[in-house]
Amino acid sequence: MAEEQKQTQAPGGGGPPRREGGSGGPRREGGGPGGPGGGPGGPGGRPRGKRQYFRKKKVCKFCVEKMDFIDYKRPDILSQFVQERGKILPRRMTGVCSRHQRWLGVAIKRARNIALMPFAGSAAGTQTPRVVVPAAAHAAPAVAHPAPPAATEAPKV
């Protein structure tokens, strides 16, 4: 609000949105209440929310399934909680409770260490572990391309 006095002297010196010199003032107050009234009331209080926060339903998948041990050897479960680029999703996106989010982070990092999940890049190439009976008639490892089709090549390197 103190900028208004400066703006009459140097129009356009302030921020870009206040293009009109004199009428820029009342315009701003008018724009204020329009923001949270239009939005879903996410952040509450800020005049212009940058993006609309909608809360995912507060249901933690692991609590519902009563899963107390998040296995790092199951990338199919873990990749639900990971972005396309491989980054771990925050709790507010997935609705996981704090305890399970901690364990999930540990499991994802372990899986990344052992190349079951990527550090960066698409997780679409991960497979579920196939439990092969040892010493069974397993196809000779000399075969270059195994039976499961290599779905998507990692775009990097």
3-state SS assignment for residue 54: coil
Q: How far is the CB of 57 from another protein (least distance, A)?
A: 20
* Dihedral of alpha carbons 62, 65, 70, 74, sign: negative
Between 2 and 143, CB nearer to another protein:
143
HEC profile for 53-109? CCCCCCCCHHHHHCCCCCCCCCHHHHHHHECCCCCECCHHHHCCCHHHHHHHHHHHH
The Cβ of residue 120 has, within 10 Å, a number of other Cβ atoms equal to: 11
Q: How far is the CB of 94 from another protein (least distance, A)?
A: 21
Q: How far is the CB of 68 from another protein (least distance, A)?
A: 4
Q: 125 and 150 in contact (C-beta within 8 Å)?
A: yes
Between 48 and 73, CB nearer to another protein:
73
Q: 81 and 71 in contact (C-beta within 8 Å)?
A: no
Q: How far is the CB of 135 from another protein (least distance, A)?
A: 8
Between 52 and 113, CB nearer to another protein:
113
Between 58 and 130, CB nearer to another protein:
130
Q: Which residues bind another protein (CB under 8 A)?
A: 66, 68-69, 72-73, 75, 110, 112-119, 121, 123, 125-127, 129-132, 134, 138, 140-143, 146, 148, 150, 154, 157
Between 1 and 139, CB nearer to another protein:
139
Q: How far is the CB of 147 from another protein (least distance, A)?
A: 9
* Dihedral of alpha carbons 36, 39, 41, 47, sign: negative
Report the distance separating Cα 125 and Cα 146, nearest Å.
Answer: 14
